[in-house]
Structure 1
Amino acid sequence: MAYAPDFLLDRLLYRDGLMLVIDKPAGLPVHGGPGGGDNLENYFDALRFGLPRLPALAHRLDRDTSGCLALGRHPKALRKLGKLFSDGRVEKTYWAVTKGVPEKLSGTIEAPLKKETRGSGWRVVIADDGQRAVTTYRTLAQKDGLAFIEAKPKTGRTHQIRVHLESLGAPILGDPQYGELSAAERAHPMMLHARRLVIPISKNKEPVVVEAPPPEAMAEMVRRLGGDV
Structure 2
Amino acid sequence: MDEPLEILYRDEWLVAVNKPSGLLVHRSWIDKDETRFALQLVRDQIGQYVYPVHRLDKPTSGVLLFALDPETARKVGEIFEAGSVRKEYLAVVRGYIDEGGRIDYPLKELLDKMTDAKARTDKEAQEAVTLFERLATVELPIPVGRYQTARYSLVRLRPETGRKHQLRRHMKHLLHPIVGDTKYGRTEHNNLFREHFACHRLLLASTKLELPHPVTGEPLCIEASVGEAFASIITAFGWDAE
TM-score by length of structure 2 reads 0.80
Q: Percent identity of the aligned residues?
A: 33
Match of 1:7 in 2: 4
Match of 1:189 among 197, 201, 226: 201
CA distance in 1, matches of 2:185, 2:33: 28
Q: Is the 8 A contact 2:85 2:211 kept in 1?
A: yes
Give per-residue Cα distances to partners, 1:188-210, cap 9 Å, x unaligned.
31000000011211576531111
What RMSD, in angstroms, separates the aligned Cα atoms of the two structures? 2.6
Match of 2:100 in 1: 106
* Range 110-119 or range 63-72, more displaced: 110-119
Q: Is the 8 A contact 1:30 1:40 kept in 2?
A: yes
Structure 1 residue 218 corresponds to structure 2 residue 230: yes
In structure 1, give the amino acid aligned to 2:219: P
**1:118, CA displacement in angstroms?**
10
Q: Is the 8 A contact 1:147 1:225 kept in 2?
A: no
Bigger Cα Rg: 2
CA distance in 1, matches of 2:216, 2:27: 37
Pairs within 5 Å for 1:1-229: 4=2, 7-8=4-5, 11-34=6-29, 35-38=32-35, 39-48=37-46, 54-102=49-97, 104-115=98-109, 129-144=124-139, 145-182=151-188, 184-185=191-192, 187=194, 188-202=200-214, 206-228=218-240
CA distance in 2, matches of 1:118, 1:21: 27
**1:158, CA displacement in angstroms?**
0.6
Q: Is the 8 A contact 1:99 1:172 kept in 2?
A: yes
Q: 1:55 to 1:116 in 2, by over 3 A?
A: closer
**Aligned partner of residue 108 in structure 2, secondary structure:** strand
CA distance in 1, matches of 2:192, 2:128: 27
**1:169, CA displacement in angstroms?**
1.5
Unpaired runs of at least 5, structure 1: none
CA distance in 1, matches of 2:230, 2:222: 19
Unpaired runs of at least 5, structure 2: 117-121, 140-150, 195-199
Give per-residue Cα distances to partners, 1:163-206, cap 9 Å, x unaligned.
11111121111101003332515853100000001121157653
Instruction: Provide the aligned length of Structure 1 versus Structure 2.
Output: 215
CA distance in 2, matches of 1:79, 1:167: 34
CA distance in 2, matches of 1:185, 1:132: 34
**1:128, CA displacement in angstroms?**
9.7
In structure 2, give the amino acid aligned to 1:170: H
**Aligned partner of residue 162 in structure 2, secondary structure:** coil
CA distance in 1, matches of 2:219, 2:170: 28
